[in-house]
Chain A
Amino acid sequence: MEPELAIETRQLTKFYGKNRGVVDLDLDVRRGEIYGFVGPNGAGKTTTVRLLLDLIRPTRGSATILGMDVGGQSKAIRARTGFLPGELRMYDNLTGRQLLRFFGAVRGVTDMTYVHELAERLSAELNRRIGTLSRGNKQKLGVLQALMHRPDLVLFDEATSGLDPLMQQELYGILNEYREQGGTVFFSSHYLNEVERICDRVGVIRDGTLILSDTLEALQEKHVRRLRLEFAEPPGADFLAGLSGVQKESQQGTTVIALVQDNLAGALIEAARYTVVDIEYQERRLEDIFLQYYDTREEAHAAESSAQDTA
């Protein structure tokens, strides 16, 4: 029986000498989902992907892919996975077609129909030498080689860099179809809008540590959103006071800004007691959740450092 988790890591840790790569990473990526792995540059995204591909070895901890141990069964794992790095380097002296023939031969792909279908959808250049291709066209070849053998799991590390918006849309479509057919995608990115667009669940990594991992809906539920109310007359100073799930951030004249956790209805009922001129309610965007979480953690981190300094 196939394991439920496509990727499972436990306390996965990598140090490069004294430099931190990732620390105690516990990842659970379920089969058949697109898992967004987000974080700023240097957070540890690429280190994680390279650990999963057995390109680098962990300092401690374990990782399994499709139920197989990354260290001991990496060749079997790679037969069932595809990989696309952000800056794909391939053999410049080969044409795209020759590269795909080589990769296909090593992967045991005999029927190239699917590859040609994908190439057509992505308008990939197959007859020019790779060395003469633009970054975007190289990246298209990267997508083809990652998916050509219809793997069970693909690891994309900043995969859409270099692709124009139209091709990005096409790639999202291809990945959605791939997921519908049972494929799993580990999608590392720092472009939050694309993660929000295609991913089912999201993990956020910061300073090598996974700070949260959940479905997009759950993250959005937890997210505090800003409500701006404009009144005809200034409301009383006790406006919104004591209302659960809502916190008044500021009140200046006729303008009130509140942070709403989970009681928008309560806030609106309170507001309806006055003449409301305008309402603005912040959209639920992953970027805000991400920034909010980062800001909070930054403050906590600063406070912790300050306390340690004082002590």
Chain B
Amino acid sequence: MLRNLLLKTLRDQRIPVLAYGLGLGALALLIVAIYPAFAASGAELEEAMENLPDAYKAFTGGVLSLTEFDGYLVSQYLIILPLILAIFAIIEGTGALRGEEERGTMDTLLSLPISRSQVVLHKAIATLISVVFVLIIIGAVLYVSTQFVEDATLALDRLAVVLLNTFGMGALFYCFSLFLSASLPSRRLAGVIGAVFAVGAYFFDAMTDIVEGLYDYRILGPFNYFEPLAILKEDLSFQNSGVLLGASLVFLVAGLLIFRRRDVAGI
């Protein structure tokens, strides 16, 4: 596992990956397991949903019905998954460059015959693979658990596209954090801005559904391109995931170019 920086980074992340994968998998299992109780509430729940304020609906993925499994899964689990992944992405993204400089290990790492671009790319690819591992665990738990719960049906291809869409969000938060890590003078500052960006993006998207004048600006927020309900109910679109991955690539390249040019901070 220590043959290159990519494998070393994967090795370093194995415990967080397992913790995130198993933790989020356990949460998925719980959510699926209690679905029959929701479904049984039937008409009462539908009525309650109709009476809920628009703001609440906006914050839970615009779901109109909790008695259908798709809507239930999105509002109770999938809509917050990018935010939970963002914690991992921000920690890893800000730690990749500025964190390593603040620990003083970057000098030693860069005394090896490895270019700055390789440092960025190895770390980025490794972390994105880690995110894939987390999502595979979550996907496996979701798919298998729905096989044992009545009325909880989940098509494998739709689940895969939802997870791809979620991966796009994770990649965006990671690459944005990496860009901040390359650009800003401290890891803490990069972390704060990364967290504000992730939470702010979630609120911004919800607010565009509530505040009339904001609706036209919704395309500026990343959550506009996260549509798990549409994927589960309507078409298998890859377009949104493409936008998220494209934006991730822009931040990755920008971070790489900045890191290649600037001084490495000493301790």
Contact = CB atoms under 8 A, between A and B. Distances in A.
Interface stretch (A37-45, A52-60, A221-229, A236-244): A52-60
Contacts of A114: none
Nearest to B108: A90
B34 interface: no
A218 interface: no
Contact of A106 (B112, B263, B264, B267): B112
A168 interface: no
B238 to A, nearest CB: 37
Contact of B113 (A89, A94, A101, A106): A106
B213 interface: no
B115 interface: yes
Contacts of A89: 103-105, 107-108, 267
B267 to A, nearest CB: 7
9 contacts: A50-B266, A55-B106, A82-B111, A83-B107, A89-B103, A91-B12, A102-B3, A106-B112, A106-B114
B247 interface: no
Contacts of A105: 2-4
Chain A contact-residue range equals 20 to 34
A235 interface: no
A22 B210 CA distance: 58
| Chain B contact residues, majority secondary structure | loop
Nearest to B8: A102
Interface residues of B, number: 24
A76 interface: yes
B108 A83 contact: yes
Contacts of A98: 2
Contact of A79 (B110, B113, B264, B266): B113
B31 interface: no
B96 to A, nearest CB: 14
B115 A75 contact: yes
Contacts of A88: 108
A50 B103 CA distance: 16
A55 B12 contact: no
Nearest to A91: B105
Given A56-B263, A57-B261, A75-B113, 5 more contacts: A50-B266, A102-B8, A105-B2, A105-B4, A145-B108
